[in-house]
Amino acid sequence: MSLVGKIERINGSLVVSQFEGEPKMGDLIEVGNLKLMGEIVRLSNEIAYIQCYEATSGLKPGEPVLDTGMPLMAELGPGLMGAIVDGIERSETDLWELTGPFVSRGTNISPLNRDKKWIFEAKVNVGDRVSGGDIIGTIQETASFEHRIMIPPGQSGVIKSINSGEYSVTEIIGELETDSGIINLTLMQRWAVRRPRPIRERLPLNQPLMTGQRVVDTFFPVAKGGAAAIPGGFGTGKTVTLQQISKWADADIIILVGCGERGNEMADVVAHFPEISDPRSGRKLIERTIIVANVSNMPVSAREASIYMGITLGEYYRDMGYDVVVLADSTSRWAEALRDISGRLEEIPAEAGFPAYLADRIAEIYERAGRVQTLGTDERLGSLTLIGAVSPPGSDFSEPVTTNTLRFIGTFWALDSELAYRRHFPAINWLRSFTRYMGVASEWWSAQDREWEEMRAKALSLLEEASQIEETARIIGEKALPDEQRLVLLMAEMFREGFLVQNSFHEVDTYCEAEKQAKLLKIMIEFYNTVNPLIRKGIPIEKVRELKIVKTLMRLKENRGVEPINSARLEIQYETDELAKEYEVK
Ligand X SMILES: Nc1ncnc2c1ncn2[C@@H]1O[C@H](COP(=O)(O)OP(=O)(O)OP(=O)(O)O)[C@@H](O)[C@H]1O
Q: Interface with ligand X by CB under 6 A: which residues?
A: 232, 234-240, 391, 425-426, 502-505
In whole angstroms, the minimum distance from the beta carbon of 236 to Mg ion comes to 9
Q: How many residues sit in the footprint of Mg ion (CB under 5 A)?
A: 2
- The per-residue b/e assignment along 4-32, b for 16 or more CB within 10 angstroms, e otherwise, is bbebeebebbbbbbebeeebeebbbbbbb
- Select the binding partner of residue 13 from ligand X, Mg ion, none (C-beta < 5 to 8 A, by kind): none
- Minimum Å distance from CB 260 to Mg ion? 7
CB of 316 to ligand X, least distance (A): 28
Alpha helices in 350-426 (DSSP H): 358-366, 400-408, 417-421
Q: Which does 391 bind (CB under 5 to 8 A by kind): Mg ion, ligand X, none?
A: ligand X
Nearest residue (CB) to ligand X, 391 versus 552: 391
Give the chain's end-to-end CA distance (angstroms, integer).
89
Helix (H) or strand (E) holding 129: strand 129-131
**Least gap, CB of 402 to ligand X (angstroms):** 14
Binding site partner of 168, from ligand X, Mg ion, none, Cβ cut-off 5-8 A by kind: none
* Residue with Cβ nearer Mg ion (36 or 230): 230
Least distance between Mg ion and beta carbon 83 (Å): 22
Give the separation between CA 168 and CA 180, rounded to whole angstroms: 26
- Binding site partner of 240, from ligand X, Mg ion, none, Cβ cut-off 5-8 A by kind: ligand X
Residue 576 in contact with Mg ion, rule: CB under 5 A: no
Q: Nearer Cβ to ligand X, position 235 or 533?
A: 235
Q: List the single partner that 81 binds among ligand X, Mg ion, none, CB under 5 to 8 Å by kind.
A: none
CB of 234 to ligand X, least distance (A): 4
State the binding partner of 456 from ligand X, Mg ion, none, CB within 5 to 8 A by kind: none
Integer angstrom CA distances of residue 78 from 113, 115, 116, 189, 206: 9, 12, 10, 10, 30
Is 411 near Mg ion (CB under 5 A)?
Answer: no
Taking the CA of residue 508 as centre, how many other CA atoms within 13 Å lie in the half-sphere pointing to its CB? Answer: 9
CA atoms within 13 A on the CB side of 457: 6
Helix axis angle, 300-319 to 358-366, nearest 10°: 30
In 303-439 the beta strands, taken as DSSP E runs, fall at 323-329, 370-373, 381-390, 411-412, 434-435
- Provide, rounded to whole angstroms, the least separation between the CB of residue 427 and ligand X: 7
For the chain, the farthest-separated pair of C-alpha atoms sits apart, in whole angstroms, at: 96
Interaction of residue 239 with Mg ion, rule CB under 5 A: yes
* Nearer of residues 50 and 209 to ligand X, judged by Cβ: 209
What does 142 interact with, of Mg ion, ligand X, none (CB < 5 to 8 A by kind)? Answer: none
User: 426 touches which of ligand X, Mg ion, none (CB within 5 to 8 A by kind)?
Assistant: ligand X
Question: Which span sits near Mg ion by CB under 5 A: 91-99, 234-242, 309-317, 413-421?
Answer: 234-242
Query: Of the two residues 384 and 428, which places its CB atom closer to ligand X in the complex?
Result: 428
Q: Are the CB atoms for 302 and 215 separated by under 8 Å?
A: no
Rounded-to-integer distance, Cα 512 and Cα 195, Å: 37
**Residue 424 DSSP one-character state:** -
Residues 200, 289, 121, CA angle at the centre, nearest 5°? 65
Q: Which is nearer to Mg ion, 86 or 329 (CB)?
A: 329
Residue 102 contact among Mg ion, ligand X, none, beta carbon within 5 to 8 Å by kind: none
Structural element, H or E, at residue 550: helix 548-555
How many angstroms separate the CA atoms of 141 and 446, rounded? Answer: 38
CA dihedral defined by 416, 421, 425, 431, rounded to 10 degrees?
Answer: -30
Nearer to ligand X, 211 or 530 (CB): 211
Q: Which of the 8 DSSP states describes residue 504?
A: T
> What does 154 interact with, of ligand X, Mg ion, none (CB < 5 to 8 A by kind)?
none
Whether residue 426 has a cis bond before it, omega within 30° of 0: yes
The residues, any chain, with a CB within 8 Å of residue 555's CB and separated by 6 or more, are 498
Nearer to Mg ion, 260 or 299 (CB): 260
Q: How far is the CB of 235 from ligand X (least distance, A)?
A: 4
Q: Which residue, 40 or 84, is less far from Mg ion as judged by CB?
A: 84
- Residue 229 burial (CB count, 10 A): 26
Return the axis-axis angle of helices 300-319 and 331-344, rounded to nearest 10°: 130
Q: Does 244 bind Mg ion (CB under 5 A)?
A: no
Residue number, 189 or 332, with CB nearest to Mg ion: 332
CA angle 153/197/31 to nearest 5° reads 100
Partner that binds at residue 232, options Mg ion, ligand X, none, CB closer than 5 to 8 Å by kind: ligand X
C-beta of 239: minimal distance to Mg ion in Å?
Answer: 3
Contact between 331 and Mg ion by CB under 5 A: the answer reads no
Output the smallest distance, CB 270 to ligand X, in A.
Answer: 15
φ/ψ (deg, to 5) at 444: -65, -45
Least gap, CB of 128 to Mg ion (angstroms) = 48
Cα dihedral sign for 503, 508, 513, 517? negative
Q: Specify the residue, 254 or 524, whose C-beta has the smaller distance to Mg ion.
A: 254
CB of 468 to ligand X, least distance (A): 27
Which residue's Cβ has the minimum distance to Mg ion?
A: 239
Residue with Cβ nearer ligand X (322 or 413) = 413
State the binding partner of 165 from Mg ion, ligand X, none, CB within 5 to 8 A by kind: none
Residue ranges binding Mg ion (CB under 5 A): 238-239
